[in-house]
Amino acid sequence: MDRSSIESEARFQAYVEGLASVIGHADRNGPLRDYCTGLLLPAERKSVEPMAAMTAPARTSAQHQSMLHFVGKAPWSEERLLTKVRELVLPTIEAHGPIRAWIVDDTAFPKKGKHSVGVTRQYCGQLGKQDNCQVAVTLSIANDWASLPVAYRLYMPEVWASDAQRRTKAGVPDDLVFQTKPQIALQQIKDAQAAGVRSGVLLADAGYGADTTFRDELTALGFAYVVGVQGSLSIWPPGQAPMPAKAWSGRGRPTRNLKRAPDHKPVSAKTFAFSLDPDAWQTITWREGTNTQLSSRFARVRVRPAHRDTLRSEPRQVEWLIIEWPEGEQEPSKYWLSTLPDTIAFESLVDHAKLRWRIERDYQELKQEIGLSHYEGRGWRGFHHHAALCIAAYGFLISERETIPPSGPRFNLRRPSAPIPENQRPRGAANLDRAPRGGLNSNSPTTIERRLGAITG
């Protein structure tokens, strides 16, 4: 084994020891190490049973029970683990530049049954349609070099939140009440702010940005934002605003609410986009893609959001409306609102809007490479424990980027599948006919080096 392998293994052991400091009893340290090891191994399936077979081939049954208890039953805090991951990985990220953004997102997990916690028929982004799935709301921190999830919570649909029997069976906390996804995200943002996480511009897609209360709360918390909105967003074009309240006649209660009129009312963002002059559009490149530079046509205009402003006494503040209309398309494809300064460069505004690509890539890698979507348990605790451990494993890979040439943000996690040890046939395992003799144990010095070496393979 070469020197880099020894150093890599030593860094992994130190990283896991750091994580172990927040999970309570010392007897959880071994399952923690083995679970993270299993998540880092290049296998197709990262559910508990295949990982047990890979990390302890000579005692798979006992290992399976140990890991299953650790992830699904043991009462350690996933929030404390994610905090520790952030503490360990953030210095590496910030060595490449300050945090630029906090990214709110959600990620879905298609499910065929109905007993897994939080499963119901709802929009599934992975499938692009309504279907049976679980959805988790997340908050990530990002700069130009990397991004890291720092909060992760299952969205509990009302049909689940109001069902005491199903809640009890799935171990849903007694004090948990129904919250919309924007409400969950706001709580995550407040918690991260209270914990002293370094701030950035808040980014979110239209599932959150279309919620006026969400945007108002972000402003109240002191965040500038760039959030997606729908083309149906109601706005006042430049130079326009709702009419002031009617002057008091001296009789009755004074009217304070703003007014509209048939010939003086807001328009939709989409209608406004079609009214813009051709010279309002500018082609902007925001980053390099895999094979070419990514660019599109954009317009930006200072407007006032008009949502329910007839219930207000003061007009809403002017913000940036950013519109993307790719060349050759019949209509605009995306819209954003932003409270970034009016002096910001157009290119910088678009760059912020497009920075959300980082979290989309993160969750692709977390699901396909680390095993985020592979958990087979049904309970609340196991769902969140597995996710926190996946994020912990992913955080280690982020911290190791510079040790694996070529270093930098272009690394990817594509690799061949690792076989399951001979004579082990756990459910969901792949490549059973290529199983090696012996397998890997938790003390193997090559375990993590195999995983890291595969990154650049």
CA dist 101 and 46 (Å) reads 30
Give residue 422's pLDDT band: very low, low, confident or very high (50, 70, 90): very low
Per-residue pLDDT, 249? 63
Domain limits, the chain: 3-88+380-455, 220-238+258-355
Pick 361 or 148 by higher pLDDT. Answer: 148
Q: Does the pLDDT of residue 425 top 50, yes or no?
A: no
User: Does pLDDT of 94 surpass 70?
Assistant: yes
Q: Sign of torsion, CA 62 65 67 70?
A: negative
Paired strand residues for 287: 294
Q: What is the mean pLDDT of residues 210-217?
A: 97
pLDDT at 431 > cutoff 90: no
Q: What would the pLDDT profile of 108-165 be if each residue is shown by its tens digit?
A: 999 988 889 999 999 998 888 999 999 999 999 999 999 999 999 999 999 999 999 9
Question: Rounded to whole angstroms, how far apart are CA atoms 412 and 388?
Answer: 21
Per-residue pLDDT at 58 exceeds 50:
yes
145, 410 contact by CB (below 8 A): no
Helical residues (DSSP H) of 162-279, grouped into ranges: 164-170, 181-194, 206-209, 212-220, 269-275
> Which tops the pLDDT comparison, 245 or 155?
155
Higher pLDDT, 310 or 70: 70
What digits encode the pLDDT tens for the residues 371-387? 999 999 999 999 999 99
Q: Which pLDDT belongs to residue 33?
A: 96
Alpha carbon distance 406, 94 (integer Å) = 19
pLDDT for 245 equals 84
Q: Residue 290 has what pLDDT?
A: 65
Contacts 24+ apart (CB under 8 A), 274-281: 274/331, 275/237, 276/301, 276/323, 281/325
Is residue 421 pLDDT above 70, yes or no?
A: no
Please calculate the CA angle 18-22-27 and round it to the nearest 5 degrees.
90
| DSSP class of 296 | E
In the chain, the amino acid numbered 367 is K
Measured CA to CA, the distance from residue 392 to residue 389 in angstroms comes to 5
Contact 349, 340 (CB under 8 A): yes
CB atoms within 10 A of CB 276: 15
pLDDT confidence of 440, banded at 50, 70, 90?
very low
Of 323, 137, 316, 298, the C-alpha closest to 229 is 323
Distance between CA 103 and CA 442 in Å, rounded? 35
Looking at 56-60, 146-150, 356-360, which range is the least confident one?
356-360
Give, in order, the Cα–Cα distances in Å from 77 to each of 24, 34, 35, 385.
9, 18, 16, 8
- The average confidence (pLDDT) of the chain is 87
- Per-residue pLDDT, 455: 36
